[in-house]
Chains A and B, each alone.
Chain A
Amino acid sequence: MLATIPSATLLGAEGRPVTVEVHHANGMPGFTVVGLPDAACREARDRVKAAMQTCSLPWPTRKITVNLAPSAVRKSGAGLDLAIAVGVLVAGQELLPDVVAGMAFLGELGLDGSVRRVPGVVPLVAAMALGPVTTVVVPAGCGPEARLVAPGEVREAGDLKTLAAALRGEEPWPDPSPDPPAEPPGGGRDLAEVRGQAVARLALEVAAAGGHHLLLAGPPGAGKTLLAQCLPGLLPDLDDRDALEATCVHSAAGMPLPRGGLIRRPPYRAPHQFASGVSLLGGSAHLRPGEASLAHGGVLFLDELGEFPVHVLDALRQPLEEGRIRVARARAVVEFPARFLLVAAMNPCPCGRAARPGACTCTDAERHRYAKRLSGPLLDRIDLRVDVPRPDVEHLLAGPPGESSAAVAARVASARGAARRRRVRCNAELPASSLDDVAPIRGAAALLFEDALRAGSLSARGLHRSRRVARTLADLREPDAPVTEEDICLALQLRAEPDLLRAAA
C-alpha cells in the first residue's frame, strides 16, 4: 500500500516542498527512510514508531519504506515527523486516503505523541502552498504565523492521538489559536532621550529618510549606542513583501516572532564584535540565517567597528550592494534576504580620548594600526560619517529634551514618499544617472562641490553619495524641494571624515 503526504523542509530561509511517500510491503518487518535525510530527519524512524505506540496506534509489522521526494534536496530537521506518521497510518489503512487529500502536515513528534513546533513555520507553510494543498496542519500554537501564508485552512495539532481521531471524524478539530492582538507600537528608544548632539540627530534622521548607511565616531560614553537604538523607531513600517521576508528569516532562525506573527516593525540587530563570519552572514551546516539577514528591513548596528575581523567586514559588501547574501555550499546555494541600514560605531582612536584635538595619547603607529583594521571598501559604502563628541554636562542635566521620535518619523515618512515617487525605495538607491534630474545643483552649490573635489576631500564616488544625501536633506525640509546650497554644505558636513580615516587613506 502506498500513501503520499505533502510537507516541506527548510533550506536557508526558504522552504522547499517535500512529498513524503510511505510504502508498506510484505517481507521482513522494518522501517527505512530514504531520500537524502540528515541525521535529525533519519531519526524520525524512532520518534514516529515510539509516538504511535504510546498513542495506542497500531504499528504495522511489515516492511515500511519512507521516501522523501525530491530525493536530490537535502532534508533537514524533524519537521517531517508528522507527515511520516500520517503516511504510515494511511498506508496501513488506518486512515482513508480521502480524509487526508489536499492536506499537508508539519511538526516534530515527541515520544509521547505530542506535536512540537519547528523553526521556520512561515517559510515551510509558504512552500507547501506551492502544491495542491487546501489544508495545512501545524503544531499547536503555530496557527497565527501559518495563517500569514497558508493557501487555505490552517489546523493545529497538539498530539498524534487527537489528530488521528480528528482525521477519522471521531472528534472535532481542536480550536485554532486566535490571532493575538497586534503588538502595541513603540519599543526601542526614543530620540527625546538624546540631549544635544544636533549633528548626530540630523544624521540619524537623514539615515532613516534616505536609507544612507551611517558611521558614528566618538569616545566611549558619547551615546553612540543610544543613537543607534533610536533609529528603528524613525523607520516606517515594513511593506508586505519585506515584512514577509523578515518574518521568514526570523522564523527560519527559530527566533521568537512578535504577537500577530508578522514582523512589521524594522528589526534591530547588534551582533557582538567577536561574531564570526558565519554568525553575521549566515551559513553553517544548517544554513541558518545570520545577523545581517535577521536585520533585513531594519538596522544592523556594529559597535566597535574596528574590533570586527577585517574579513568579516569585507564580506558585508555583498549584502550592502545587493541586499541579499548568497551562501554557497557543496550541496546547495541558498540566498538570504539582507537589506539593512548599517550603523557602525567606533572610537576615534584606540585610546578613545581624541575628544578634542590634542587630547589623544595614541602614537602614530597605534592609530595607523587601528585605522588599518577598518575595511576601506566598507567605509566607502557608508554615506554618513559623523563625529559624536561626549555631551556637555550642562546638556545632560539641564538641557531641554530633544524632539521625539514620532515627530522625526513623520518627516522621514514623507521624505520616503518623495523617494517612492522617484521609483526607488529610498534616496540612497538613486542611480547616479538620475541625479542630474532629481538633485540638480547650480550656482554657488556647484562651486562647493568643485572646491571639495579640488581640495581632494571628496572623491568622485563621494560626490554622488553627497548628492544623494543632499537630496534627502532637501526632502526632509519639504518633499521634492530643490536642493540648495544649504543642503550641500550640510551633506558635506555629514561626511566629515574622522581624522583616523584620513590617516588610513
Chain B
Amino acid sequence: MSGVGGRGPLLALAGLPGMGPARLGALLARWPAAEAWEFVRGGDLPGDAGVSDHLVASWRAAAAAVDVEALVAAHRAAGIEVVAATDDAFPAPLRDDPEPPAVLFVRGRLDALTARRVAVVGTRRCTWSGRLVARDLGRDLAAAGVCVLSGLALGIDGEAHQGALDGHGGPVGVVGTGLDVVYPRRHAALWERVASAGALVSEYPLGTTPERWRFPARNRLLAALAEAVVVVESGSRGGSMHTVDAALERDRPVLAVPGPVRSAASAGTNGLLAAGCPPCRDAADVLVALGLTTPHPSSSPDAGDGAAAPAPADAEDALVLDALGWEPATLDELAERLGVPLGPLAVRLTRLAGGGWLVQRAGWWERAR
C-alpha cells in the first residue's frame, strides 16, 4: 500500500455512476482494475459480467469524461490512500464480511485499525448527561489503548471522538461522504483532528455528498470494523439502531448505556437492555466485553457506591442537584419538586451553572457533573 500511485483505474471505476460495492467487488474479483477499466472505457464488458447493456452504455459515456491522472493527483493532494478488497492492507475484519466494501478511501493511519476496536455511537439529539458519558467512554477506552470508532455525527458520535482525542488515542471516523466533503460542517475542526490523530475511512470517492440513504451503509461499515458496539443514547429508531442491527448480524457484542426510563433519548438503549444486551456503565464494562484484563484504574466496577460522585459544598446546592438528578428538567419542574419560589431558585441554578455543576440548553437544566 503506497499511496495512490498506479491506482488510477481503481479510482476511476469507483467513481462511476451506479457503481456500488457489490458491482465493483464482482469486477475486481474477475479482472485487475486496469483491465476492467479498459473494458468499461471501450464499452465492451463481456456479457457474462452481469452488467446490463444500459449500464455499460452509461459507464462508457461517463468514462469518456474521466481524467485518470487528474483523479490520482487529486487523491494524492488530499493525502488519501485507496485500499481495494484484494490488497494486503485491506482491514482484516472486512475480509469475510457479508457486505464488504470493494474499496476503502482512507485519510490518516490505517494501522489504527489494528488495535482493539470499539464503536461508540448514539443519537444526535442527546442529553447533556449522554454527552458526558460518551466523552468519558471515548477518553477511557482510548487511554486503555482501544481504538474508538464512530461516525463523526453531531451529538454522541462527536463527543466519543472528542473523548478519544482527549485520551490521546487514535480514533477512527467512519463517514458516509467523500473524504473531501466535511459533514456535518460544524465538525470541520474535529474532522481534521481525527484525521491527524487516527484515521478517516469512507467507501465513497471524493466529492460524494451526504445523502440519506448512504448513512445506513456507513453504519454497516462502522459495525463491521468494530469488535463491539456501545450505544450511549438512542431513540427507539434511528441510525444507531441500524448500527446495532448490523453488529448483531455480524455477531459483534452490543452494549447499551442505561438511561432514565422517562428519557426519550434513552428509549432505544433501554430497549436494548430489556432485550438482553449487556449494560455499559463505563469503559471497564466494555473492556470486559472485549476480554481485556486490563481494567482502567478510574473505572473499576467497584470504585464505590456514589463515593466517587462529587457533591457541592453547600447543602442547599446539593438538594437542588438531587432534585434535578440526571434527567433534564425545566425551571418549573425544579421549583415544584423543591417547593421554592422561582426567583431564589433561578439565582441558585445560575450559580451552580457558573460552578460547572449544571448546564442549561433550550430552557432545560441538566446536570453536568
Contact bitstring B327-369, A, C-beta under 8 A = 1, else 0: 0101111011000001110110110001000001111101000
B177 within 8 A of A: no
Closest to A363 in B: B212
Q: Assuming the A-B contacts A358-B235, A389-B332, A485-B347, are A199 and B342 also in contact, with contact meaning beta carbons closer than 8 angstroms in the complex?
A: yes
Q: Is the CB of A496 within 8 A of B362?
A: yes
Query: Given A357, A486, A500, which contacts B125 in the complex, CB threshold below 8 Å?
Result: A357
Q: Is the CB of B362 within 8 A of A358?
A: no
Closest to A457 in B: B360
- Report the Cα distance A307→B330, complex, angstroms: 26
Q: Is the CB of B347 within 8 A of A497?
A: no
Contact bitstring A348-367, B, C-beta under 8 A = 1, else 0: 10000010111111001000
Query: Given A199, A358, A489, which contacts B233 in the complex, CB threshold below 8 Å?
Result: A358
Point out the residues of chain A lying under 8 angstroms from B349, CB to CB: 489
Q: Is the CB of B263 within 8 A of A356?
A: yes
Closest to A395 in B: B336
Q: Is the CB of B127 within 8 A of A357?
A: yes
Point out the residues of chain B lying under 8 angstroms from A200, CB to CB: 332
Min CB distance A487 to B, Å, is 7
Min CB distance A299 to B, Å, is 23
A121 within 8 A of B: no
B179 within 8 A of A: no
Q: Is the CB of B350 within 8 A of A448?
A: yes
Q: Is the CB of A387 within 8 A of B362?
A: yes
Q: How many residues of A contact B (CB 8 A)?
A: 35
Q: Assuming the A-B contacts A486-B343, A486-B346, A498-B363, are A358 and B332 also in contact, with contact meaning beta carbons closer than 8 angstroms in the complex?
A: no
Point out the residues of chain A lying under 8 angstroms from B262, CB to CB: 356
Q: Is the CB of B350 within 8 A of A364?
A: no
Min CB distance B364 to A, Å, is 6
The A-contacting residues of B in range 141-195, CB under 8 angstroms, are 154, 184
- Report the Cα distance A389→B364, complex, angstroms: 10
Contact bitstring A240-268, B, C-beta under 8 A = 1, else 0: 00000000000000000000000000000
Point out the residues of chain B lying under 8 angstroms from A487, CB to CB: 343
A54 within 8 A of B: no
Q: Assuming the A-B contacts A357-B364, A451-B354, are A490 and B233 also in contact, with contact meaning beta carbons closer than 8 angstroms in the complex?
A: no
Closest to A492 in B: B350
Question: How many A-B contacts are there with CB distance less than 8 Å?
Answer: 95
Q: Is the CB of A499 within 8 A of B362?
A: yes
Q: Assuming the A-B contacts A358-B123, A387-B363, are A196 and B343 also in contact, with contact meaning beta carbons closer than 8 angstroms in the complex?
A: no
Q: How many residues of B contact A (CB 8 A)?
A: 37
Point out the residues of chain B lying under 8 angstroms from A485, CB to CB: 347
A493 within 8 A of B: yes
Q: Assuming the A-B contacts A199-B332, A486-B343, A486-B346, are A361 and B363 also in contact, with contact meaning beta carbons closer than 8 angstroms in the complex?
A: no
Q: Assuming the A-B contacts A198-B336, A202-B342, A387-B330, are A357 and B350 also in contact, with contact meaning beta carbons closer than 8 angstroms in the complex?
A: no
Closest to B331 in A: A199
B265 within 8 A of A: yes
Min CB distance A363 to B, Å, is 9
Q: Is the CB of A496 within 8 A of B266?
A: no
Point out the residues of chain B lying under 8 angstroms from A492, CB to CB: 346, 350
Residue numbers of A with Cβ under 8 A of B are 196-200, 202, 217, 348, 354, 356-361, 364, 386-387, 389, 448, 451, 473, 485-487, 489-490, 492-493, 496-500, 502
Given contacts A198-B332, A356-B364, A358-B123, 18 further A-B contacts (CB under 8 A): A199-B331, A199-B332, A354-B362, A357-B362, A357-B366, A358-B130, A358-B233, A361-B235, A387-B364, A486-B343, A486-B344, A486-B346, A486-B347, A487-B343, A489-B346, A493-B331, A496-B362, A498-B363
7 A-B contacts (beta carbon < 8 Å): A198-B332, A199-B331, A357-B125, A357-B328, A360-B125, A364-B124, A489-B347
